[in-house]
């Protein structure tokens, strides 16, 4: 049986899911929380942020929303805590901190 992303639960075993790197349906990222295993998370210092938007395109998880030319708050639902955004920020406005869940 092939499961839809919206039907995935912890009870679904690896034998029941579709193979990795294969796309069987579109628009599934909003149904799958990817940030629940993160150990660190990025925190933005709004006083240091210059809205250069260099952090947004390097985020592999699309966790930095941009609207009307301005970045928004991190979407931690998708963030894996990789720290690429913090490395890309030339103003040191993003720091990685321990994610206390």
Q: Is the pTM of this model over 0.85?
A: no
Domain of 91, CATH number, reads 3.30.70.20
Instruction: Give the domain range for residue 72.
Output: 33-101
Which residues are CB-neighbours of 25 under 8 A, at least 6 positions away?
4, 5
Residues 23 and 45 grouped into a single domain: no
Among residues 4, 28, 1, 31, the alpha carbon closest in space to that of 16 is found at 1
Chunked mean pLDDT (size 10), the chain, 101 residues: 68 73 61 80 98 94 93 93 96 96 72
Residues 27 and 40 grouped into a single domain: no
Residues 47 and 67 grouped into a single domain: yes
CA gap 44, 96 in Å, rounded: 9
CA gap 12, 21 in Å, rounded: 18
At residue 40, φ and ψ (nearest 5 deg) are -125, 155
């Amino acid at each position: 049986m092939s499961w839809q992303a919206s039907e995935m639960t912890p009870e679904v075993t690896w034998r029941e899911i579709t193979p990795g790197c294969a796309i069987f349906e579109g628009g599934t990222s909003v149904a799958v929380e990817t940030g629940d295993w993160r150990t660190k998370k990025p925190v933005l210092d709004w006083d240091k942020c210059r809205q250069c938007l260099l952090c947004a395109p390097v985020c592999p998880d699309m966790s930095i929303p941009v609207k009307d030319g301005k970045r928004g708050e991190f979407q931690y639902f998708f963030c894996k805590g990789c720290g690429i955004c913090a490395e890309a920020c030339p103003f040191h406005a993003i720091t990685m901190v321990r994610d206390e869940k």
